[in-house]
Structure formats: C-alpha cells, structure tokens
C-alpha cells in the first residue's frame, strides 16, 4: 500500500482518540463565529503525532488538532504553539489555514486543542508527484521552493514571533534536545547509529549563525495543500516542530528528499529524475539561494546529517508511542520499523560530512 492510500482521507475516530463530541459542539457554539451543528467527527488517516480530526456540519467543515491522550514527553505536542504560529503567519499573507479558536481547557475533550479552516485542495503524498503531468512537475517543485523561501523571508519581529524560540546556537540546542528525548524514551530502546550521532554531531557544528527565522521543521510535499488546479501552495500544514532557528536547517530538511531512498519518508533516491522531469538537487539548491540572496550553502552535508538524525529522533518517538499504545496513526508501527535503517542513513551522511 502506498503512502497516499495509507494517509489520504478520513475514517471513524480510533478508539484511543475518541472524546465527548457534545462537549466539543458546545465549545464551538460559544467560541467559533458562524458555527451551527449538528456536528459529526471523523479522524484523518495521516498525522503521526497530534491526532487530527475533520469536523463536519451541514454548512461547512473544520479541522481540529489536539494533543494525544496519555503519557507525553515534556515539551512535545505543543498544539498551542501551532495555533500561535499559524495565526501570526496568516496575518503576514503566508499560506496557512485560517484559525478559529484555541482551547486550553482540558476538560472539554480531554486535552488542549485548536480549530482551523478545512482548506480544500490537493495533498501529494508521493514526492515524485505521480498524479501530475510530467510537463508540470517542475512547477510544483518550484512552488515548494518559493513557499519555503517566502517563509524564511518573513521578519519574526514584524510577525510578532520574535520570542517564538531562543536566539542563537540553533544546532547545538536542537542536537541537545533530540539527544535528550532519544535517551529518555526508554520504551523505544537504543540504536547504535543514533548513539554515534549523539556523540559526533555536537562536536562538529558549523560556526555560521544567520539571523533567526521562523522555520517549519517538517517541510515536505505531504505537509502542503496545493491549489485544486494550479501549481500553487495554498496552505502549509503541521507546524508542531516550528520554532525560530537557522533557515538552512529548515531548507536542508526539505532537501533530504534528494538524499533518501524512494519509499522512505519523501525520498527520491532511486528514481530517474530526468525521465520524470523533476529538477535535480543542484538546481533546486540554486533556486532557493537565488530567492534568499545566497551565493551557496557551505556545510550542506552536515546540515543534512543533522536533519536525518532529527528525523530518526522523530521516528524513535513514534516507536515509543507505539510501545505505550498512544500512537496517533494506524500506520505508526510500520513507520517505527524503519528506525534503524534511517539511523544508519543518518550516520552514512555524517561520514560524508567528515565523521569517522
């Protein structure tokens, strides 16, 4: 089964993620302008971390994102931060869903949550955009590139997000954070390649540190909604990992599609990009540099190694949630099974950056 089939659409709310629909309906009647029931709730198939629901009424549909129930790692699943950044970026004209309300009262549905617009468009789960005509594929890649460059061009202070993350030392702080979460999540176990990365990465952080920008943290094709008929991004989704940080960390995470095997996350390795009319990595990097006023990206191999480590840390967290019975996606177990190959890939990339 491909990722599109696995993750597209909605189904019944899974048993572990059910809640009091009547309580939610009462809250929306009080807090969401124009809301009118009755309310029907479905759960999106995708979404590994924060359970995501489609709220259907006779007049319109909404989307709800909530913290998962059960034991959580400190600082994880911060849907209140998602709500804040989406609201602020929307005010700057960046393509995100319109937000309707944030609920910090855990008694309503059992965890905090927020409600946003249901944006109608297309999500492409496969990184080669198989549903798109070959002649149009470069336009879709260029739309992703332009959207990320636009995000990194927003002044956090102007957007009211200058306190959205700690200033400076982004890589050192992120490596420490993900290393700590990896070590402390005993339910997921240890991985040899991750142990090596935990030691090597903090000792090899490049010295450059540009002005911080809002970074998405998980920018890939399946976290975007494209216009129904045009090669244009109309909403960027899943802001749980967003913060202030190094824009090249964000871009190199997105660029991992050129370094990962097809079938692993959003990887393109193993495909004939020229035959598919997909731009190569060098051209993609050049387009981003042109849009952001850069001459090039030194230390790119380190940035990619860091991001592969971080992605492995995310999958390690999914494995822990599977072990605890709190995983949000029905396909979490199959993702968790890919942890060791992903960690090995991260270490191989670190060796390209000079690791021994």
pLDDT digits (tens, 9 = 90+) for 74-83: 555 689 999 9
Task: Say whether the peptide bond before residue 38 is cis (omega within 30 degrees of 0).
Answer: yes
Q: What is the mean pLDDT of residues 319-327?
A: 85
Span(s) in the chain for CATH 3.30.200.20 = 3-117
User: What was the pLDDT predicted at 42?
Assistant: 95
Q: How many CB atoms lie within 10 A of CB 94?
A: 20
Measured distance CA(327)–CA(329) in Å, rounded: 6
CATH class for the region spanning 134-352:
alpha beta
Measured distance CA(127)–CA(279) in Å, rounded: 12
User: What was the pLDDT predicted at 4?
Assistant: 57
Band (213; pLDDT cuts 50, 70, 90): very high
Measured distance CA(119)–CA(167) in Å, rounded: 33
Q: Residues 271-299: pLDDT tens digits?
A: 999 999 999 999 999 999 999 999 999 99
Q: How many CB atoms lie within 10 A of CB 19?
A: 19
User: What was the pLDDT predicted at 15?
Assistant: 87
Give the CA distances from residue 148 to residues 284, 291, 292, in Å, rounded to whole numbers and listed in that order: 12, 10, 10
User: What was the pLDDT predicted at 65?
Assistant: 94
User: What was the pLDDT predicted at 47?
Assistant: 57
User: What was the pLDDT predicted at 332?
Assistant: 81
Q: Residues 229-259: pLDDT tens digits?
A: 999 999 999 998 899 999 999 999 999 999 9
* 65-69, 88-92, 228-232, 309-313: least confidently modelled range: 65-69
Q: Residues 120-153: pLDDT tens digits?
A: 999 999 999 999 999 999 999 999 999 999 999 9
Containing H/E element for 315?
Answer: helix 300-324
CATH architecture of 3-117: 2-Layer Sandwich (3.30)
Q: Is the pLDDT of residue 6 over 60?
A: no
Q: Is the pLDDT of residue 1 over 50?
A: no
Measured distance CA(239)–CA(228) in Å, rounded: 22
Could you tell me where the beta strands, DSSP code E, fall in the chain? 10-11, 40-44, 52-56, 61-66, 99-103, 113-117, 213-215, 224-226, 233-236, 243-245
Measured distance CA(279)–CA(40) in Å, rounded: 43
Name the 3-class secondary structure at 344: helix
Span(s) in the chain for CATH 3.90.1200.10 = 134-352
Q: Is the pLDDT of residue 91 over 70?
A: yes
Strands 52-56 and 40-44: antiparallel
Q: What is the mean pLDDT of residues 295-322?
A: 93
User: What was the pLDDT predicted at 7?
Assistant: 56
User: What was the pLDDT predicted at 138?
Assistant: 98
- Per the prediction, the chain carries an average pLDDT of 91
Q: Residues 161-207: pLDDT tens digits?
A: 999 998 888 999 999 999 999 999 989 899 999 999 999 999 999 98
């Amino acid at each position: 089964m491909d990722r599109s089939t696995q993750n597209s659409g909605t189904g019944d709310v899974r048993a572990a993620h059910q809640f009091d629909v009547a309580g939610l309906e009462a809250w929306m009647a009080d807090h969401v302008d124009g809301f009118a029931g009755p309310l029907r709730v479905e759960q999106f198939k995708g979404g590994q971390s924060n359970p995501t629901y489609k709220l259907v009424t006779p007049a319109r549909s909404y989307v709800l994102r909530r913290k998962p129930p059960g034991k959580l790692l400190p600082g994880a699943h911060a849907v209140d931060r998602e709500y804040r950044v989406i609201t602020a970026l929307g005010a700057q004209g960046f393509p995100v869903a319109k937000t309707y309300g944030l609920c910090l009262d855990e008694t309503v549905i059992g965890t905090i949550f927020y409600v946003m617009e249901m944006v109608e468009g297309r999500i492409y789960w496969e990184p080669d955009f198989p549903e798109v005509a070959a002649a149009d594929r470069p336009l879709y890649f260029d739309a992703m590139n332009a959207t990320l460059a636009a995000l990194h061009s927003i002044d956090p202070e102007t957007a009211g997000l200058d306190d959205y993350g700690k200033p400076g030392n982004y890589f050192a702080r992120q490596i420490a954070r993900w290393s700590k979460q990896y070590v402390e999540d005993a339910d997921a176990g240890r991985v040899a390649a991750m142990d090596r990365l935990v030691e090597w990465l903090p000792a090899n952080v490049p010295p450059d540190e540009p002005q911080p920008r809002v970074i998405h943290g998980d920018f890939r094709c399946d976290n975007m909604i494209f216009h129904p008929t045009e090669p244009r991004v109309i909403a960027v989704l899943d802001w749980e990992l967003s913060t202030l940080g190094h824009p090249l960390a964000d871009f190199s995470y997105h660029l991992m599609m050129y370094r990962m095997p097809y079938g692993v996350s959003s990887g393109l390795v193993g495909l004939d990009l020229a035959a598919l009319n997909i731009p190569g990595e060098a051209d993609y990097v050049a387009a981003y540099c042109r849009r952001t006023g850069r001459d090039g990206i030194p230390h790119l191999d380190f940035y990619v190694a860091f991001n592969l480590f971080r992605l492995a840390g995310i999958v390690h967290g999914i494995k822990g949630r599977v072990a605890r019975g709190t995983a949000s996606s029905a396909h979490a177990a199959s993702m968790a099974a890919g942890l060791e190959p992903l960690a090995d890939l991260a270490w191989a990339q670190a060796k390209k950056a000079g690791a021994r």
